[in-house]
Structure 1
């Protein structure tokens, strides 16, 4: 299945700003949505886990509207996560950064582990960096998050 990132409007058919019931219905088209809480957050979030290993996380604000959507890297190519025609998990982090810089301001933080497109409120993350040219660990992003305005404030 193809999951489109369409910042700042939607991710995988789930619209930013939509109420919980609508978001749950959209998530149910992708799998079985389950509630969970990050740390001590009061408002529960939703997660859908796909057979490919892809995980879709939907975070809600205090008004129970979608404020951010995060997708975790799949284990297979059964599910693709696409932004502007590019599979964001198939391209290496360095390749993706170069492509994104052609059209966006790109901020690189945490020595390259976190990459954001501030104009679109999109953030890519990887837990580690490759230690050498033959090291596969850290060569690809592990997650991408799309948020609505105000999420980081």
Structure 2
């Protein structure tokens, strides 16, 4: 299944700004009923058979962010403007997304990047751009779609 990132709207049936209850129902619809994971947290996150994790973050009864974690198989893909954010090397994702909008290296975590105008952030535990066998550092581990203002820091 393909999951298209559509910032600032959301991903699939998950829409930024929807109520916590509606978000929980939408999240449930993404669960594969034939392979329910014991790791699922109702109203919080689901794990699909591919290993794809989908998590919702709500504050004050409103969906503010959606996070997707890298699947272990390619039966589920996470795409942004035809860029497969988990199948391509992190460096290539940054290059392609950077062709669409500005993307900044996180000053506190140089393995992670934020595209503030797109309300997207990409995370991996460490950078290993020249070591494809080191999957955790070669590919992104998660991507987050957020509501406007999510990345603003207090003055």
| Same-fold status (TM-score > 0.5) | yes
Structure 1 residue 90 corresponds to structure 2 residue 87: yes
Provide, for residues 78-137 of structure 1, a one-character-per-residue CA deviation record: whole Å limited to 9, x for no partner. 100010011110110111111111110110124631101011211000001117445434
Structure 2 partner of 1:143: 142
Listed as ranges, the gaps of 5+ residues in structure 1 are 36-44
Structure 1 residue 34 corresponds to structure 2 residue 41: yes
50-59 vs 25-34, which deviates more? Answer: 25-34
TM-score of the aligned structures, taking structure 2 as reference length: 0.84
Preserved CA contact (<8 Å) 2:111 2:124: yes
Mapped to 2, the partners of 1:10 and 1:131 lie a distance apart of 29
50-59 vs 21-30, which deviates more? Answer: 21-30
Listed as ranges, the gaps of 5+ residues in structure 2 are none
Provide, for residues 50-71 of structure 1, a one-character-per-residue CA deviation record: whole Å limited to 9, x for no partner. 1111110100012x11000000
2:115 aligned to 100, 114, 117, which one? 117
- 1:47-126 correspondence runs (5 A): 47-62=45-60, 64-109=61-106, 110=108, 112-126=110-124
Deviation at 1:12, TM superposition (A): 2.7
Structure 1 partner of 2:6: 6
The change in CA–CA distance for 1:133 and 1:54 in structure 2 (over 3 A counts) is closer
Deviation at 1:28, TM superposition (A): 1.5
Mapped to 1, the partners of 2:24 and 2:17 lie a distance apart of 13
TM-score of the aligned structures, taking structure 1 as reference length: 0.85
Mapped to 2, the partners of 1:132 and 1:75 lie a distance apart of 21
Q: What is the SS of the residue equivalent to 2:138?
A: coil
Mapped to 1, the partners of 2:104 and 2:64 lie a distance apart of 21
Mapped to 1, the partners of 2:76 and 2:132 lie a distance apart of 26
4+ aligned runs moved over 3 Å, structure 1: 131-135
RMSD of Structure 2 on Structure 1 (CA): 1.8
Mapped to 2, the partners of 1:107 and 1:86 lie a distance apart of 17
